[in-house]
Structure 1
Amino acid sequence: MNAPRTRVQRRPVHGVLLLDKPLGFSSNQALQKAKWLLRADKAGHTGTLDPLATGVLPLCFGAATKFSQLHLDADKTYVATARLGVKTSTGDAEGEVVSRRPVHVTPEDLARVEAQFTGPIRQVPPMHSALKKDGKALYEYAREGVEVERAPRDVVIHKLEIRVIDADTVRILASVSKGTYIRTLGEDIGEALGCGAHLSSLRRVATGGFAEAQCVTLEALEAMDEEERLAQLLPAESLVGGHSRVTLGTEDAARFLSGLRRRGAWTDADEVAVFGAQPPAFLGTAHVKAGELIPGRLLNPIEIQQILLNAQQTEATP
């Protein structure tokens, strides 16, 4: 007879964990594992990485989940390897080979293709993606052998470098806008080179202001005790590092948290991070228009109290 499973006692955890997602895990599987290790009661991620991709995956807990959309929209940087001359049904190494062509690529070809795909481009989303049509993910249609029409998307490739690794493999470094499919970019590069291609590996090395050097692996997280795991969390305000900053006094902070606009000598700004002066605390986001601070996404007083209490406990720990 199987022993009963121990029920995990959940708790309020607030902050951002920069995870180095392992190969073979879906983003949700990685999230659920980290959530279990932290015993967190609320969590979400900031955009999916394919199971065959590794790298930077910011995970949001508690109050930080309110600002996860900001990193869904962030620019991202990837390093990929592409196998030239072989096209697959999925655009990566998991798919079946659908064509083989000889590879004859010169440095001039690579320079031409880099220029061709740098800047604004249009992409047709791949069938093997989580985009939905009529409430059903495209990859579900693909598994059934059904191909549906997809509208092209406008995306921006901010930086593109293609370097030869060997006779039929290239390394692709791409800094891109939101919504860019690197598998599709790899396939399109292969077609532009006249030989076809598929991705054999993919790693996200940066998203927004976060980079791979800041990340922790699930393996390392498992080896830590609870205090060490909590110490890996960045504060929720790390998601709004690029925002202008406004600090409010006690009375204005209380009214702002209740959703009221505040007036002040602030210049107009679309993205503002708002803090309270006493006690020092992140309150949420806003925008400023005509001298008015207009609330956006706000923490609630309980979340703020929990964050302050956790900070006090951490400082008190020897």
Structure 2
Amino acid sequence: MSAAPRVRVPRRPVHGVLLLDKPLGLTSNDALQKVKRLYRAEKAGHTGTLDPLATGLLPLCFGAATKFAQVCLDADKRYRATLALGTTTSTGDAEGTVLRERPVDVDDARVAAACAAFVGTIEQVPPMHSALKHEGRPLYDYARAGVDVAREARRVTIHSIDVVARADRTVTLDVACSKGTYIRTLAEEIGERLGCGAHLAALRRTTSGPLSLEHAVTLEQLERMDEAERDACLLSPDAPVAHWPAVRLADADAGRFLSGVRRRLAHPDAPNVRVYGPDPNAFLGGGRIVAGELISTRLLSPLEVAALPSATSAASIR
């Protein structure tokens, strides 16, 4: 008997940002595809990979919001990281094989000093077990094949490291850092500075730029919702740029802005601004102000602007 024909689910235009609390065990792309199917969305993308063993904030951009996904990728991040002291592994996390066991003899002062040593601008060599690509293939493919690829050190910034909790062989840290920071590498380096070694036992992302885990929903919650309830979870496409200064235009100037026409206005110069029409939620796009002139950089289409009033604006998450 032949298989029943596959039913094609009709897609629809969806515009906004969903703050997903990514579960343990899923890749970021797996999570994205599951949510995209639930929304029946035409266009979607995530804004920064979380490893399968990491959980927490994964902003998903739909439709017009994908134009601002790069802002999330470039934004500072915050993580809750649990380090297992005394054990180093082949991958730097709990998934790898144990390479070495050492005794742990540290106190609060030594842990605080070890963490403080990494605050500021530092250089990190990307780990082999990472998604960074070399000649079109992620490094973890080479690592699984037993091939070590030369990697150049990268400069990153650690804004702060605060000790949240400490037990005999574990330390939980709150880490605020720039994009591109490898927390597993940081965990290994802190372990070496303590003299006992360490690996990353658990990782949870809590913020990305202005976006916070406290506003996130889980995959299980989304699966229990109907379509209207899911749509109500979406933030407006301006959510990734909620930290940019806001500019509001009257009707005539809003139309010209959407046409790409430069406008003069009484506003301080700024490298990035979010621009609105007269309606409170009428997000038009992003721009910059140079010598008193507003210049568009990312524009929504009139159809996208018209679809936004039901979404939550950036002002509500600040």
Query: Which range, TM-score by smaller chain?
Result: over 0.9
Q: Secondary structure at the match of 1:10?
A: coil
Letter in 1 for 2:61: C
Give the Cα separation in 2 of the matches to 1:264 and 1:213. Answer: 36
Give the Cα separation in 1 of the matches to 2:77 and 2:118. Answer: 16
Which residue number in structure 1 is paired with residue 134 of structure 2? 133
Letter in 1 for 2:28: S
Which residue number in structure 2 is paired with residue 286 of structure 1? 287
| Structure 2 unmatched runs, 5+ | 312-318
Give the Cα separation in 2 of the matches to 1:86 and 1:160. Answer: 21
Greater CA deviation, 260-269 or 270-279? 270-279
Q: Write out per-residue CA displacement over residues 283-308 of structure 1, whole angstroms, 9 at most, x where no aligned residue.
A: 10000001110110110112122334
Which residue number in structure 2 is paired with residue 78 of structure 1? 79
Which residue number in structure 2 is paired with residue 314 of structure 1? none
Which residue number in structure 2 is paired with residue 258 of structure 1? 259
Letter in 2 for 1:137: P
Give the Cα separation in 1 of the matches to 2:31 and 2:164. Answer: 31
Give the Cα separation in 1 of the matches to 2:86 and 2:280. Answer: 61
Which residue number in structure 2 is paired with residue 220 of structure 1? 221
Does 1:276 pair with 2:277? yes
Give the Cα separation in 1 of the matches to 2:164 and 2:204. Answer: 16
Greater CA deviation, 84-93 or 133-142? 133-142
Q: Write out per-residue CA displacement over residues 221-242 of structure 1, whole angstroms, 9 at most, x where no aligned residue.
A: 0001110010000111122111
Which residue number in structure 1 is paired with residue 36 of structure 2? 35
Q: Write out per-residue CA displacement over residues 58-107 of structure 1, whole angstroms, 9 at most, x where no aligned residue.
A: 11101011001111111111111111111111111111111222211122
Give the Cα separation in 2 of the matches to 1:53 and 1:278. Answer: 39
TM-score, normalised to structure 1's length?
Answer: 0.93
Q: Write out per-residue CA displacement over residues 113-133 of structure 1, whole angstroms, 9 at most, x where no aligned residue.
A: 022011221111111111122
Which residue number in structure 1 is paired with residue 233 of structure 2? 232
Q: Secondary structure at the match of 1:260?
A: coil
Q: Write out per-residue CA displacement over residues 139-169 of structure 1, whole angstroms, 9 at most, x where no aligned residue.
A: 1111111111111111111111235543211
1:274 shift after superposition: 0.8
Give the Cα separation in 1 of the matches to 2:183 and 2:125. Answer: 12
1:264 shift after superposition: 1.8
Q: Secondary structure at the match of 2:271?
A: strand
Alignment check: 8 A CA contact 1:10 1:39 kept: yes
Letter in 1 for 2:161: L
Give the Cα separation in 2 of the matches to 1:261 and 1:102. Answer: 65
Letter in 1 for 2:121: P
Which residue number in structure 2 is paired with residue 101 of structure 1? 102
Which residue number in structure 1 is paired with residue 9 of structure 2? 8
Give the Cα separation in 1 of the matches to 2:110 and 2:141. Answer: 36
Which residue number in structure 1 is paired with residue 208 of structure 2? 207
Letter in 2 for 1:108: A
1:280 shift after superposition: 5.5
Which residue number in structure 1 is paired with residue 159 of structure 2? 158
Q: Secondary structure at the match of 1:236?
A: coil
Alignment check: 8 A CA contact 1:249 1:278 kept: no
Alignment check: 8 A CA contact 1:283 1:299 kept: yes
| Structure 1 unmatched runs, 5+ | 312-318
Which residue number in structure 2 is paired with residue 20 of structure 1? 21
Q: Secondary structure at the match of 1:67?
A: helix
Give the Cα separation in 1 of the matches to 2:127 and 2:294. Answer: 42
Identity of aligned residues (%): 59
Alignment check: 8 A CA contact 1:250 1:278 kept: no
Greater CA deviation, 73-82 or 298-307? 298-307
Q: Secondary structure at the match of 2:64?
A: helix
1:5 shift after superposition: 3.0
1:191 shift after superposition: 0.8
User: In structure 2, do the counterparts of structure 1 residues 14 and 163 end up closer, same or farther at CA, with 3 Å as the change threshold?
Assistant: closer
Q: Secondary structure at the match of 1:307?
A: coil
Alignment check: 8 A CA contact 2:165 2:173 kept: no
